[in-house]
Amino acid sequence: MKKITVYEKPTCTTCRKVSAKLQEKGVEFDKVNYYIKPFTKNKLKTLLKKMDMKPSELLRANDKAYKELDFKNKKYTETQILDYMIKNHDLVQRPIIEMGDKAVLARPAERIDELF
């Protein structure tokens, strides 16, 4: 089986559910707290490509920074959105599960089944 990496915020309920589901399946995986080991721009671009998503589709719309930056009303480019996500990790939806050449935003946690 290919290496599995879970990009998470440990205090996130959905992230904890994903870890529990993977443990129930008996799957070995690595966890990356992206608040301690932040995404590089290249890594986030790679994950987006593996998920077939644009940065705007990965934004956490219920986050304070989202509202402060007025994403709802302003027209940011995808590159600008990606730059904001690199600067402020709270803007990134989580958890992201990466396995080989695939990745999935595991919201809800059951989406991890798409990798198997």
For position 85, which CATH number holds?
Answer: 3.40.30.10
Residue 74 is predicted with a pLDDT of 87
Q: Model pTM greater than 0.75?
A: yes
Domain count, the chain: 1
Tell me: the pLDDT tens digits for 14-47?
Answer: 999 999 999 998 989 999 999 999 999 999 999 9
Inter-residue contact 109 to 102 (CB < 8 Å):
no
Structural domain harbouring 98: 4-115
Residue 1 is predicted with a pLDDT of 64
- Taking Cα atoms as reference points, which of 44, 25, 33 lies closest to residue 83? 44
d(CA 82, CA 61): 14
d(CA 65, CA 47): 22
Tell me: the pLDDT tens digits for 56-84?
Answer: 999 998 888 898 888 888 889 999 999 99
